[in-house]
C-alpha cells in the first residue's frame, strides 16, 4: 500500500488518484499556456492581418467591378479555412514533440494521468486556435457577404466544413507530434502533409479533370472543404449536391482523432539515454 499522505488528494481505496477529469486540467493549463504565453495571440494577429489585407483588396476590386461579393466571400472563406487550419495544426504539431524538446515531457509522463488524457487535453487546447480564427473570420464574412443569403452560406461553410477540416488536421498534427522525436521534424512533416492535401484542389490538371480529379478532391478533406466553399459561394451550386464534400472531412476528423488517442498509449519520452 502506498504511503501517500497528501490529505486532500482524491484517492480510491487502493490509493490511486482518480483520473476522471484530468484531461480538463491539461486542457485548461494548455489553453492558458497557449494564450497567455503569446503563441496563440501571435497566430491570431497574423491571421487577422492577412484577412484584413484580403478584405481591403477584395473590397477595392469589388468597387471597380473586378470581383463580385460572392467571389470576395469565397476567397475570404477559403483563405480562412486554410490559414485557420494551418494555425491549429502548427500548435498541435508542437504539442508533444515541443515538450520533448523543451524537456518538460518527462515531468508530465511520471504523473498518474493516463496518456490519452494528456492527448485529449492538448487536442482541445490546439483546437482553440481554429475557434479563435473562426470567430475573427465570421465578422469579415458577414460584412463582405452583402446579404443574408451569401452570409448564411459563408457561415455554414466556415462553421461546419472548416471546423471538420480543422479538427481532422489538428488531430493529425498531434498524432505526428506524438510519434516524431524532434519538434522540427514534427512541424516539417505536418506542414508537408497540409501542403500535400491542399495542393490538389489548386492544380489545373486536377481542377480541369472530369474523371480522377473530382474523386481526388472529394477524398481529400482539405481540398473537399476548399471546393465546397468555392462551389457554394462562388458558383452558387445548390447545397444538396454539395453534401458529398462533407464526407471526407468528417471521416478524417473521426479517424485522425482516434489515431491520435490510440497513439497516446505509446507515448514515449524519446531522446537520449
Residue ranges binding other proteins (CB under 8 A): 1-6, 8-11, 14-19, 22, 25-26, 29, 32-33, 36-38, 99, 102-104, 106-114, 268-269, 273
**CB-based contact 146:108 (threshold 8 Å):** no
Quote the least distance from Cβ 119 to other proteins, whole Å.
Answer: 14
Quote the least distance from Cβ 31 to other proteins, whole Å.
Answer: 12
* Cβ closest to other proteins, residue 27 vs residue 76: 27
Distance CA 29, CA 95 (A): 12
**Grid cell 522525436 in the structure block, residue:** 181
* Cβ closest to other proteins, residue 64 vs residue 273: 273
Quote the least distance from Cβ 247 to other proteins, whole Å.
Answer: 38
Quote the least distance from Cβ 68 to other proteins, whole Å.
Answer: 45
Quote the least distance from Cβ 7 to other proteins, whole Å.
Answer: 8
Quote the least distance from Cβ 255 to other proteins, whole Å.
Answer: 28
* Cβ closest to other proteins, residue 113 vs residue 191: 113
* Cβ closest to other proteins, residue 51 vs residue 263: 263
* Cβ closest to other proteins, residue 132 vs residue 217: 132
* Cβ closest to other proteins, residue 23 vs residue 140: 23
Amino acid at each position: 500500500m502506498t504511503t501517500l499522505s497528501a490529505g486532500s488528494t482524491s484517492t480510491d481505496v487502493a490509493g490511486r488518484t482518480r483520473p476522471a477529469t484530468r484531461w480538463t486540467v491539461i486542457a485548461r493549463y494548455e489553453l492558458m499556456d497557449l494564450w497567455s504565453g503569446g503563441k496563440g495571440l501571435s497566430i491570431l494577429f497574423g491571421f487577422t492581418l492577412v484577412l484584413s489585407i484580403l478584405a481591403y483588396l477584395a473590397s477595392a476590386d469589388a468597387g471597380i467591378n473586378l470581383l463580385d461579393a460572392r467571389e470576395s466571400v469565397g476567397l475570404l472563406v477559403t483563405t480562412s479555412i486554410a490559414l485557420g487550419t494551418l494555425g491549429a495544426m502548427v500548435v498541435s504539431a508542437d504539442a508533444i514533440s515541443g515538450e520533448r524538446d523543451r524537456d518538460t515531457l518527462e515531468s508530465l509522463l511520471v504523473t498518474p494521468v493516463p496518456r490519452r488524457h494528456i492527448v485529449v487535453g492538448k487536442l482541445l487546447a490546439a483546437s482553440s486556435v481554429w475557434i479563435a480564427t473562426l470567430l475573427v473570420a465570421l465578422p469579415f464574412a458577414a460584412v463582405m457577404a452583402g446579404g443574408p443569403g451569401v452570409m448564411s452560406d459563408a457561415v455554414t461553410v466556415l462553421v461546419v466544413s472548416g471546423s471538420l477540416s480543422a479538427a481532422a488536421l489538428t488531430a493529425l498534427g498531434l498524432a505526428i507530434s506524438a510519434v516524431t522525436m524532434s519538434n522540427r521534424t514534427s512541424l516539417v512533416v505536418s506542414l508537408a502533409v497540409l501542403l500535400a492535401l491542399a495542393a490538389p484542389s489548386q492544380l489545373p490538371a486536377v481542377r480541369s479533370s472530369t474523371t480522377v480529379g473530382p474523386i481526388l478532391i472529394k477524398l481529400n478533406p482539405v481540398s473537399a472543404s476548399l471546393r465546397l466553399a468555392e462551389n457554394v459561394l462562388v458558383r452558387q451550386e445548390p447545397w444538396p449536391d454539395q453534401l458529398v464534400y462533407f464526407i471526407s472531412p468528417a471521416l478524417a476528423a473521426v479517424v485522425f482523432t482516434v489515431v491520435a488517442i490510440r497513439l497516446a498509449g505509446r507515448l514515449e519520452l524519446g531522446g537520449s539515454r
